[in-house]
Amino acid sequence: MAAKKLSARARVAARKQRDKWKGKRWFTIRAPRHPWNFKRIGETIGETEEHLIGRVYEMTQQEFNGDFTKMHVLLRFRVTDVVGQDALTTFVGHSHQSDHTRRQVRRYRGKVDDVVDVVTTDGYLVRLKPLMITERRIQTSVKQAMRAKSKELILSFAAKSTYSKLQESILGGELESSIGTAVKAIYPCRSVVIRKSQLLQTGVVTEKGPTLDSIHEEEARTEAELNAKKAAALAEAGSEEEEVVEGEGDLLAAAEAMESISEKADAPAPAVEETAEEAPAEEAPAEEAPAEEAPAEEAPAEEAPAEEEKNKKE
């Protein structure tokens, strides 16, 4: 009896249990205000706003800014605030895919990597990991000199830059090109990249850039313009189709008229010719009758032997 009661209670609880997916909503994920101007980068689903805080959204740099040469770079954004249907994020770092890094390193090449912690002017603590690939294998002393040079340059660059400017220099390649130029005097490099960055501590949040309301207004305006262009294009395409259909209808009508005229002109002539040609064909067998009488002329040839026998007897 106890088992039956528990199963019945379980069935009742299952009936009363609500569907969690019905209570969830879609939220728009937006990039940081500065320097990305609340750019829309994706969507996520959640039941409440508290469930979104702390989520990390990953995407490739190609999806972010359309640069297909950076399809191997992964960007990470963490949700820090939710305003209405918008999930606001902070850039927390990037990394290169491991298979891309392995393809760069070969047996006959040299690999020089390092870890550098920097502090920006607005108080952000960031960890950077540069990677330098040389054309040939190099000695340890050369590697140490290259590490020291790259670290000095990265520290000096970050000390004069804000976190937003550091993001742009990392993703745009400005910092990597400056490091490559600096270490070229020591040993020429095949490639120089910041293979990974990580935000360790946040600092002062800047208020630069457009507001979220202005971004919404701009998006609504661009969407309205796009819809108007689509409607105009569809209307133009519809008018062109109507013209084509009318032209095809005229051509079909003309073709049908020509067919009817040709049928009327050609129909009587074949009938007369056929009757005229068929009459001599029926009379042809009458001319062949003499050919059947030919065997009758061969009868005298059979009587010739009989006359010869009579002459012999006489």
* pLDDT per residue rounded down to tens, the chain (314 residues): 444 456 777 777 766 666 777 888 999 999 999 889 899 999 999 988 898 999 999 999 999 999 999 999 999 999 999 998 999 999 999 999 999 998 988 888 999 999 999 999 999 999 999 999 999 999 999 999 999 999 999 999 999 999 999 999 999 999 999 999 999 999 999 999 999 999 999 988 877 778 888 888 888 898 899 999 998 888 888 877 776 666 666 667 777 777 777 776 665 544 444 444 444 444 444 444 444 444 444 444 444 454 555 555 54
Ramachandran region, residue 43 (left: φ > 0; alpha: ψ -120 to 50; beta: rest) = beta
Would you state the pLDDT for residue 246? 64
β-bridge pairing 40-46 and 25-30: antiparallel
Q: Is 134 within 8 Å of 109 (Cβ atoms)?
A: yes
C-alpha Rg value of the chain to the nearest Å: 48
d(CA 205, CA 217): 24
pLDDT tens digits, one per residue of 203-225: 888 777 788 888 888 888 988 99
Residue 196, token pair as written in the block = 């990974």
What's the confidence (pLDDT) of residue 273?
Answer: 44
Of 112, 98, 117, 109, give the one whose Cα is nearest residue 155. Answer: 117
Residue 80's pLDDT is what? 94
pLDDT reported for residue 235: 86
Distance CA 76, CA 91 (A): 6
Q: What's residue 144's pLDDT?
A: 95
pLDDT for 248 equals: 64
Q: How far apart are CA 135 and CA 144, in angstroms?
A: 17
The domain ranges of the chain are 23-94, 97-209, 211-255
Specify the fold of 97-209: Tetrahydropterin Synthase; Chain A (3.30.479)
3-state SS, 56-79, equals EEEEEHHHHHCCHHHCCEEEEEEE
SS3 94: strand
Could you give the C-alpha distances from 10 to 5, 14, 20, 226, in angstroms and in order? Answer: 9, 6, 18, 53
> Per residue in 109-140, pLDDT tens?
999 999 999 999 999 999 999 999 999 999 99
Could you tell me if 133 and 111 are in contact, meaning their C-beta atoms sit under 8 angstroms apart?
yes
The 10s digit of each residue's pLDDT in 226-261 is: 999 998 888 888 877 776 666 666 667 777 777 777
In three-state form (DSSP H/G/I as H, E/B as E, the rest C), the secondary structure along 200-255 is: EECCCCCCCCCCHHHHHHHHHHHHHHHHHHHHHHHHHHHHHHHHHHHHHHHHHHHH
- CA within 13 Å, CB half, 69: 3
